[in-house]
Amino acid sequence: MKIGIVGGTGKIGEGMAMRLSRIYDVLVGSREIEKAQDTCESCLRYADDNGLSCTVRGLTNQEVVDGADVIILAIPYKHLDSTIAGLHGLEGKIVISPINPMEKHDFFEYIPPTEGSAALHLKKILPESTRLCVAFNNIAGNRWRDIDGELEYSVAVCGDDEESKLIVMDMIDRISLLKSYDAGPLTMSPVIEGLTALVNNIAKCNHMKDVGVRFV
């Protein structure tokens, strides 16, 4: 199975690439292919230094969509519309949204679009046959990037296509100590996305860093 990371050169995207490329064929995408190739260099160097195998290629976002079975949209909400408008061939693909529309003033605030969440907005602008899942929303970029550290978090996964949800959950359970949980249909996405604002505020108000969630 080939995993594509659209926007794979940000902090979260690069951390995902480094962790996933030990397990899967990973295609890292960027608007600027050189940046994607830099990220791949980092992955390969780290793997080499640590005696790990690693399969990763740096491509454009469109080439990632063309080549991958599962596509993670590791982009900020503000670039979502323009990124999707610039891509074709998403029909039938599994797309994962870890996107949280959020603003920071005195506190972090969850600011969903009129559809109710980034994912519900995304559902409207993606082809009907795209199999959209929400996952990875509540893990801090710093934790992804700290690749020597384990990720001991729960990951809530929601979506309306049961088969793709199982594929995504199986993928999550192979990454570090992550544990996936089926959270029901895509209508649960507002809570999962909003939870990121909550854990960010908890970090801020309680002098903690990179707070995540475990369901117990």
Catalog residues that contact a second copy under the rule CB under 8 A: 107-110, 152-153, 156, 181-185, 187-188, 190-192, 194-195, 197-199, 201-202, 204-206, 211-216
Tokens of 15: 């951390």
| Closest distance of CB 108 from a second copy, Å | 8
Nearer to a second copy, 76 or 184 (CB): 184
Instruction: Give the list of residues 6+ apart from residue 49 with CB closer than 8 angstroms, or none.
Output: none
Residue 57 or residue 123: which is nearer to a second copy going by CB? 123
DSSP string, 73-126: E-S-GGGHHHHHHT----TT-EEEE----EEESSSEEE---TTSSHHHHHHHHS
Tokens of 203: 């970090």
Report the residue number, 81 or 173, with the smaller CB distance to a second copy: 173
Angle at 36 between CA 24 and CA 141, to 5 degrees: 70
65 vs 213, which CB is nearer to a second copy? Answer: 213
Q: How far is the CB of 183 from a second copy (least distance, A)?
A: 5
Question: In the complex with a second copy, which residue's Cβ is closer, 24 or 153?
Answer: 153
Supply the minimum distance, in Å, between the C-beta of residue 172 and a second copy: 13
Do 51 and 20 touch, CB atoms closer than 8 A? no
Residue given tokens 């009129």 in the structure block: 114
Decide if 59 contacts 67 (C-beta within 8 A): yes
Smallest distance from a second copy to CB 101, Å: 13
Smallest separation, CB 130 to a second copy (Å): 22
Residues 6+ apart with CB under 8 A from 133: 94, 95, 96, 97, 157, 158, 159, 161, 164, 165, 168
